[in-house]
Amino acid sequence: MLSDITIGQYYKAQSVVHRMDARMKLILTVLFIVIIFLCKNFFSLAVMFVLTAVSILVSRVPFRMFFKSLKPIIPIILITAALNIFYVKKGTELLSFWKISVTTGGLSTAFFMAVRIICLIMVSSLLTYTTVPTQLTDAIERLLSPLNVLHISVHTLAMMMTLALRFIPTLIEEIERITNAQKARGADFESGRFLERVKAMIPVLIPLFVSAFRRAYELSFAMTCRCYHGGEGRTRMKQMKLSAVDFAALGVFLLSLAGVIVLNRFFQAMI
C-alpha cells in the first residue's frame, strides 16, 4: 500500500543513539568524517573501524539495514579499489602482465580506501536511521542559526525542508492516482521510444503540477490561519537538550581523535 511509505529511512528502535540529541549526532557525524580522513595507517583506521562497529551495535539497528544502504555504493568501492590496485606501485611486486603490475602496497591501499568508504557510509546511514527527518531539519536550523547574522533565513530553509518531507508521500500517492486514472483512459506508459514515453507523461505531469500548486496555495492559507509569520518570536514544543549521553559520546569521539593522532605519529604512514 502506498500509504506505507516512510519518510526518510528512520528505523524505529529504542536505543541510546536514538535518544541522542540530533544536533550532537550531526556534529559527531561531521567529526567522524574529519577524523577518518586524518587516518594515515591501519592502526588509526582500526580505531575508527571499532568506533563504527560499536556505534552500530549500540544503535540496535540490524546490520542488514546497513548492508542495504551499502549496496548502491559497492560499484564505487570496487572501482576505487581497482584503481588503487593498478596504479599504486609500492612494496613488492606480486604479479605483472602486459603493462600492469600488482604490488603489495597497491593491495593494502585498496583495502584501506575500501574500509574508509564503508565506515563513512555506515556512520552517515546511522545518522538517518536513528534520527527522524524533522529532527534533522530542526538540528540543521538550530546549528546554522548563527548564519541569520548574515541575513540568510535559516528558518525559512528549514521550514521548506520540513514541508518537502511532509508532502513527498502525498505527491507520490498523487502520481500513482493520476497514472492509474490515465491508464484507465488507455494511456500507454510502457511502450514506444524515449521521446514517445516522455510525451506520454504529459497527461500525468500537467494534473500533478496543477494539483501541487493548488496544494501549495491551500497550505499557505492554512499556515497563515495558524498564525504562521516566519521564524520571528516562534517557540518550539520540543526543546533540544544535551544530556549526559551526548557528552559521553562526544568524549568517545574526541578520545578516538586523540588515538588516531597518536597512532599516526607512532606508526608509519600508509598513504
Partner 1 sequence: MKKGTEDVLLNNTPILSTEDLTYIYQKGTNSEVTAIQDVSVDILQGELVGIIGHTGSGKSTLIEHFNALKKGTSGRVLLDGSDIWADKSKIRSVRFRVGVCFQYPEYQLFEETVAKDIAFGPKNMGLSEEEVNRRVTDALTYVGLSQSYAEKSPFDLSGGEKRRVAIAGIMAMEPQVLVLDEPCAGLDPKGRATVLQMIASYRAKTGCTVLLVSHSMEDVAAIADRILVMNRAHVAFFDTVDAVFSHAEELQEMGLDIPRITQLMLSLREKGIDVPANLYTVQQAYDALRPRLKGGSRHAQ
Partner 2 sequence: MRAFIEFKDVSFSYDVEDAQPVPVLQHFDLAIAQGDFVAILGHNGSGKSTVAKLCNGIEIPQSGDVTVNGMNTKEEENLLEIRRHVGMVFQNPDNQIVATIVEDDVAFGPENLGVEPAEIRRRVDQALRDVGMYDLRFSEPHKLSGGQKQRVAIAGVIAMQPACIVLDEPTAMLDPRGRKDVMKTVQMLNRDFGITVLYITHFMEEAAKANRVVVMDKGRILLDGTPREVFQHDDALRAAGLEVPQATELSLLLKRDGVPLSGSILTIEELSRQLEELLS
Q: Which residues of this protein are in contact with partner 1, per CB under 8 A? A: 1, 4, 177-178, 180-188, 202-203, 206-207, 210-211
All 3 cell numbers of residue 199?
510525451
Q: Judged by CB under 8 A, does residue 234 bind partner 2?
A: yes
Q: Which positions from 138 to 177 touch partner 2 by CB under 8 A, shown as an x/- string?
A: ------------------------xx-xx--xx--x----
- 3-state helix, strand, coil split of the chain in percent (to 5) is 75, 5, 25
Beta-carbon contacts of residue 263 (< 8 Å; ≥ 6 apart)? 41, 43, 44, 47
Stretch in the footprint of partner 2 (CB under 8 A) among 31-39, 115-123, 175-183, 235-243: 235-243
CB of 2 or CB of 50, closer to partner 1: 2
Separation between Cα atoms, residue 256 and residue 202, nearest integer Å: 54
* Binding partner of residue 170 among partner 1, partner 2, none, CB cut-off 5 to 8 Å per kind: partner 2
Q: Is 84 in the site for partner 2 (CB under 8 A)?
A: no
- Report which residue type is found at 59: S
DSSP-assigned letters across all residues of 15-51 = -HHHHS-HHHHHHHHHHHHHHHHH--SHHHHHHHHHH
What's the CA gap between 215 and 121, in Å, rounded?
36
Q: Judged by CB, which is closer to partner 2: 5, or 57?
A: 5
Q: Based on CB atoms, which residue is closest to partner 1, 165 or 187?
A: 187
Which of partner 2, partner 1, none does 80 bind, CB closer than 5 to 8 A by kind?
none
The rounded distance, in Å, linking the Cα atoms of 57 and 13 is 12
- Write out the residues near partner 2 by the rule CB under 8 A: 3-7, 132-134, 162-163, 165-166, 169-170, 173, 214-215, 218-219, 221-229, 233-239
